[in-house]
Amino acid sequence: MDLIKASALEISEAVRAKKISAKEVFQFFLKRAKDLNPKLNAFISFNEEGLKQAELIDQKIAKGENPGILAGVPVAVKDMLCTKGLQTTAGSKILEGFVPPYSSTVVERLEAAGAITLGKTNQDEFAMGSSNENSAYGIVKNPWNPEYVPGGSSGGSAAAVASRMAPIAIGTDTGGSIRQPASFCNISGIKPTYGRVSRFGIVAYASSLDQAGPMTNYVVDSALVLQAISGHDPKDATSSQQKVPDWTKLVAGDVKGLKIGLPKEYFADGLDPEVKATVDKAISDLKQKGVTFVDVSLPHTKYSVSTYYLIATSEASSNLSRYDGIRYGLREKSNNLEELYMNSRGKGFGDEVKRRIMLGTYSLSSGYFDAYYLKACKVRRLLQKDFLDAFKLCDLLLSPVTTSPAFRLGERVEDPLKMYLNDIYTTSTNLAGLPGMSVPSGFTKSGLPIGIQLTASHFEEEKIFRVASAIETASNVADRRPEC
Ligand code: GLN
């Protein structure tokens, strides 16, 4: 079996059919990930215990039991997710050495489905970033060209899957962190509807926006992984009671008769011509399959980045107050309690995290609350309404993920505003709580990947998977792997 090309679905079927053992699969990926990691820096740590878990899966199969839909599939888990007994840093120095006493629901569900944690992936500190240059554990490189960023904040997960260090990964998406790196690395990544996936045991960045989701080489694997991790969890009060459909069966469904909206604000000036050409190609491919297109408008799009950066930083300033040098991770020597807080937080947090804590604290402070945080909450409502109005005219939306393909390492680090503007097409999806996916659809002449974004109404992931699968078939780039 070609483990570099095979889908996770094929791997788990082969494991269950005893064509290959879970142990062999795990050994293969652990070796490959360790060999490539010095080049890409996609992993912060590896799960050495994984081999024993693989043996247990093989024993279950030998006894005739079914270990689950992800039997023997190694999974690269973003370091935002707590993993029992395995260091979880969220990309921050302040959590260095923190070993959680329990696993996040997502990781528990993956394991219950037979998947095995391969390691923890690198990311922007506390998921704050769009390039993976804000990690306390070093930058991650784009496997398609090491001079370029892999995207962020789930850059390690994207680089790991694109280069096949792992067949599947988990990312988190607060304002684009699954979709943007997926598009920069030629993989599929879906941010589910808010509430679809439990946030229990995931390090909180902005709780009203955060969702975890799959990052995979193939659309069918995103469906498979999402199926494994979705569903109500009594440990997360915001998790939904909605039924989880059998998405893998629906993926290759017909797209004929679907009506797709093209939001005109997402095709504004400044869109890279190669990105535009790729989107146009996908549109004409889908037309041939019987999809119709309609122009729609999301008039408040121009406020999405500012609204996002007010709400996300406000929530972050509150969420990150728990890192006090006492309860978790780093503790700096100090003479008194106040100094302990200041020294531990001062040394433990990186510059971008400090910038955001200050921004968020400011926007929540009395005197400014009404003008900033409250105003942003009202605009959020308008952004949501834009989408709901658009979905009266169409089934789902198609757009670019970002205005350009991956940018060069270092190009935007000095200019936070330029970095934030990268999130223009991804943040409103989170503000509105909608599901959104990036699917591989082409390459630039210089060999950088380009993804396409699909956005649907709440809990309509099924439509996204159908269209994504049609784009994947037509573009035929999902099984390309970088030379690295
Ligand atoms: N790039 C955005 C930010 O920096 C989104 C990050 C994310 O989705 N976690 O906040």
Residue 253 has pLDDT above 80, yes or no: no
Per-residue pLDDT reduced to its tens digit, 6-33? 999 999 999 999 999 999 999 999 999 9
How far is it, in rounded angstroms, from Cα 44 to Cα 284?
41
Per-residue pLDDT reduced to its tens digit, 445-477? 999 999 999 999 999 999 999 999 999 999 999
Q: How far is the CA of 445 from the centre of ligand 1 (A)?
A: 28
Predicted TM-score of the model (pTM): 0.98
pLDDT at 215: 99
Q: What is the CA radius of gyration of the chain?
A: 21
Joined together, the tokens standing for residue 13 give: 């079927």
Per-residue pLDDT reduced to its tens digit, 287-306? 999 999 999 999 999 999 99
Mutation to probe ligand 1, out of 128, 311, 314, 320 (largest number of atoms < 8 A from CB): 128
Lowest average pLDDT, out of 129-143, 394-408, 411-425, goes to 411-425
Per-residue pLDDT reduced to its tens digit, 73-127? 999 999 999 999 999 999 999 999 999 999 999 999 999 999 999 999 999 999 9
Single out the catalytic residue among 23, 60, 78, 141.
Answer: 78
How confident is the model over 383-408, as a mean pLDDT?
Answer: 98
**Summary mean pLDDT of the chain:** 97
Is 103 a known active-site residue? no
Cβ(128) – ligand 1 distance below 6 Å: yes
Q: Which residue's CA is the nearest one to ligand 1's atom 10? A: 128
Q: How far is the CA of 39 from the centre of ligand 1 (A)?
A: 24
CA 50 to chain centre: 23
Residue 342 has pLDDT above 90, yes or no: yes
Residue 250 has pLDDT above 90, yes or no: no
Q: Which atom of ligand 1 is closest in space to residue 130's alpha carbon?
A: 1
pLDDT at 232: 98
How confident is the model over 140-159, as a mean pLDDT?
Answer: 98
Provide, rounded to the nearest whole percent, the portion of the chain with pLDDT above 90. Answer: 96
pLDDT at 251: 83
Q: How confident is the model at residue 484 (pLDDT cuts 50, 70, 90)?
A: confident
Q: How far is the CA of 270 from the centre of ligand 1 (A)?
A: 21
Q: How far is the CA of 336 from the centre of ligand 1 (A)?
A: 35
Residue 247 has pLDDT above 80, yes or no: yes
Cβ(312) – ligand 1 distance below 6 Å: yes
Cβ(50) – ligand 1 distance below 6 Å: no
Q: How far is the CA of 328 from the centre of ligand 1 (A)?
A: 23
Is 249 a known active-site residue? no
Q: How confident is the model at residue 249 (pLDDT cuts 50, 70, 90)?
A: confident
How far is it, in rounded angstroms, from Cα 218 to Cα 229?
17
Single out the catalytic residue among 177, 183, 239, 428.
Answer: 177
Q: How confident is the model at residue 252 (pLDDT cuts 50, 70, 90)?
A: confident
How confident is the model over 364-389, as a mean pLDDT?
Answer: 97
How confident is the model over 265-274, as a mean pLDDT?
Answer: 93
pLDDT at 421: 85
Is 333 a known active-site residue? no
CA distances from 75 to 269, 419, 478 (A): 39, 29, 18
pLDDT at 453: 98
How confident is the model over 45-58, as a mean pLDDT?
Answer: 97
3-class DSSP string for the chain:
CCCCCCCHHHHHHHHHCCCCCHHHHHHHHHHHHHHHHHHHCCEEEECCCHHHHHHHHHHHHHCCCCCCCCCCCEEEEECCECECCECCCCCCHHHCCCCCCCCCHHHHHHHHCCCEEEEEECCCHHHCCCCCCCCCCCCCCECCECCECCCCCCHHHHHHHHCCCCCEEEEEECCCCCHHHHHHHCCEEEECCCCCECCCCECCCCCCCCEEEEEECCHHHHHHHHHHHECCCCCCCCCCCCCCCCHHHHCCCCCCCCEEEEEHHHHCCCCCHHHHHHHHHHHHHHHHCCCEEEEECCCCHHHHHHHHHHHHHHHHHHHHHHCCCCCCCCCCCCCCHHHHHHHHHHHHCCHHHHHHHHHHHHHHCCCCCHHHHHHHHHHHHHHHHHHHHHCCCCCEEEEECCCCCCCECCCCCCCHHHHHHCCCCCHHHHHHCCCEEEEEEEECCCCCEEEEEEEECCCCHHHHHHHHHHHHHHHCCCCCCCCC
pLDDT at 269: 84
Cβ(423) – ligand 1 distance below 6 Å: yes
pLDDT at 418: 87
